[in-house]
Amino acid sequence: MKTVIEDMRQGLQEEGIKRAGEVIKRGGLVAFPTETVYGLGANALDPEASEKIYSAKGRPSDNPLIVHIADWEKLNFIVRDVPEAARRLGEAFWPGPLTMIFRRKETVPLTTTGGLDTVAVRMPDHPVALGLIRAGGGYIAAPSANTSGRPSPTKASHVLEDMDGIIDMIIDGGDVGIGLESTIVDFTEEMPVILRPGYINQNMIQEVIGEVRMDQALIDEHSSVRPKAPGMKYRHYAPKAQLYIVEGAEEEVRQKIDALAEQEERRGRRAGVIVTEESVPFYHHGILKVIGSRGDELSISRHLFGILREFDEMDVQVIYSEAFHTPQMGQAIMNRLLKAAGHQIIKT
Ligand code: AMP
Ligand code: MG
C-alpha cells in the first residue's frame, strides 16, 4: 500500500481534510496530529475498520481504543450515561488532553473497546484532528500511531518510521505540543479514578470535581494489582539500550551520571545521557541529549519519546537519565520514563 502524506504543517487544508475524511468513511486508516501524540484513526463504529488498527500496530486485541469526538452532541450516541462530574470535567477540559471512560452503548463495536462494556472518549484540542473527526463521520477510534511497544509518535516522521506502507494516509501537522498521551479518568465506578496520568493532573481534576483516586496499579507499580486500563499493563516504550533513571540531589545526580558514562567509555562502550539544559555544562562523558529545560515542563514532555527513538538509531549500549519530578506533569513524565526503564532506578 502507498501511504499518502498530507502536509498540514501550516494548518488545516480543506481539500486534504475532505480526502482524509473519505478514507475514514470507506474503512481506511489515517494517522493524524493531536495536542498529545499522533493518533492512528479509523471509523470507530465500523468493526472491520477498527480491527485494522490492531493489525497495523501489532496491538493485542484486548487493549481498547479511544473514541475521538469533535462535538458534545455526539456523546449520547455512544455512551449510556454521562455522570454529572464527568460533564463538569469535560466542560473544564474538553477539547483537551483528557479521556473519560463511560458505559458503552451497543453502537460501539466490541472490537473498538477491546471486548469491554465501557468506552473511552476524548475530544482533542487540535484543529486538524477536529476537522478530520467531523469529515470522517464524527467518531474516530485512535490509539497512538506507533507500532505496539515503541514510543508514541510526536512528529509525522515517527509515524512514517512505523507505518509506511501499512496505512492509507498520514496527516503531517508538525510537532505536537504536549508529547505524552492523555490523562484517562474512569467514571464507571463509585468514585472517579485516574487510570493514566497526563498533562491534566490529579489536583487539576480535584479542583473541578472533588475527590478522585489514582488507580492502585499506578501508586504501586511493582504490585500484582492489575491496571484498569489494559494498555498500562504492557511494557511500553522500551528503548533498545537499557535505560537507568538516576535519582537524588541535583548535583549528585550529575556527578553520578557523568561517572557512569565515563566508566562505560573506559570499557569501550558508549552511554547515552538524557539531561536538561541547565545541567549540560556539568557533563563531560557520554552522548548527551538535551530534553528541555526544568523551567518549562512542556519542553521535557514534548521531547521524551523523540529522544528515546533517537537513541534507538544510535550505537549506545546503555542510557542514563536524570529524573524529572516537575510540578504539574512530573507524575506523567516519570510514569512513562519508568516504564521505558523497566523501573531501573539508581539512587545517589
Ligand atoms: P493509546 O491511545 O495508545 O494511549 O491507548 C489507549 C489507552 O486507553 C490504553 O492504555 C487503553 O488500555 C486505555 N483504554 C481505552 N479504552 C478503555 C476502557 N474502556 N477502559 C479502560 N482503559 C481504556
Ligand atoms: Mg499507545
pLDDT tens figures, 152-206:
999 999 999 999 999 999 999 999 999 999 999 999 999 999 999 999 999 999 9
Q: With 90 as the cut, is the pLDDT of residue 233 above it? A: no
Question: Using one digit for the tens of pLDDT, what is the confidence trace for 100-145?
Answer: 999 999 999 999 999 999 999 999 999 999 999 999 999 999 999 9
**192 to 89, 101, 178, 202: CA distances (angstroms):** 11, 9, 24, 11
Give the pLDDT score at 235.
Answer: 64
Q: With 70 as the cut, is the pLDDT of residue 314 above it? A: yes
Using most ligand atoms within 8 A of CB, pick from 62, 195, 199 the residue to mutate for ligand 1.
195
- Which has the closest alpha carbon to 161: 325, 332, 31, 10? 31
143 C-alpha vs ligand 2 centroid, how far in Å? Answer: 5
Average pLDDT, the chain: 96
Using most ligand atoms within 8 A of CB, pick from 79, 184, 235 the residue to mutate for ligand 1.
184
Mean pLDDT of 77-98: 98
* DSSP code for 114: T
Give the whole-angstrom CA distance, residue 56 versus residue 325.
34
Give the pLDDT score at 236.
Answer: 67
Q: Record the cell numbers describing residue 167, joined without a space.
A: 496505512
pTM: 0.97
Spatial contact of 142 and 41, defined as CB atoms under 8 Å apart: yes
Does residue 33 have a cis peptide bond before it, meaning omega lies within 30 degrees of 0? no
SS3 101: strand
- Which has the closest alpha carbon to 348: 268, 248, 265? 248
Does the annotation flag 63 for ligand binding? yes
**30 to 122, 154, 155, 220, 284: CA distances (angstroms):** 17, 15, 14, 36, 44
Does the annotation flag 196 for ligand binding? yes
Query: Between β-strands 98-103 and 118-122, what pairing exists: parallel, antiparallel or unpaired?
Result: antiparallel
Closest ligand 1 atom to 182 CA: 4
Lowest mean pLDDT among 11-20, 179-188, 211-220, 277-286: 211-220
Strand residue runs (E) in 132-261: 140-141, 169-172, 183-186, 193-196, 213-214, 242-247
Whose Cα sits closest to atom 12 in ligand 1?
231
Which one of the ligands is nearest to 228 CA? 1
Lowest mean pLDDT among 52-66, 220-234, 285-299: 220-234
Give the pLDDT score at 36.
Answer: 98
Mean pLDDT of 49-60: 97
What residue ranges line ligand 1, CB within 6 angstroms?
A: 63-64, 66, 101, 113, 116, 118-120, 143-144, 181, 184, 195, 228-232
270 C-alpha vs ligand 1 centroid, how far in Å? Answer: 36
Give the pLDDT score at 225.
Answer: 81
Four-CA torsion 314, 343, 325, 216, nearest 10 degrees: 140
Q: Which residues pair with 183 in a beta bridge?
A: 98
Q: How many CB atoms sit inside 10 A of residue 324's CB?
A: 21
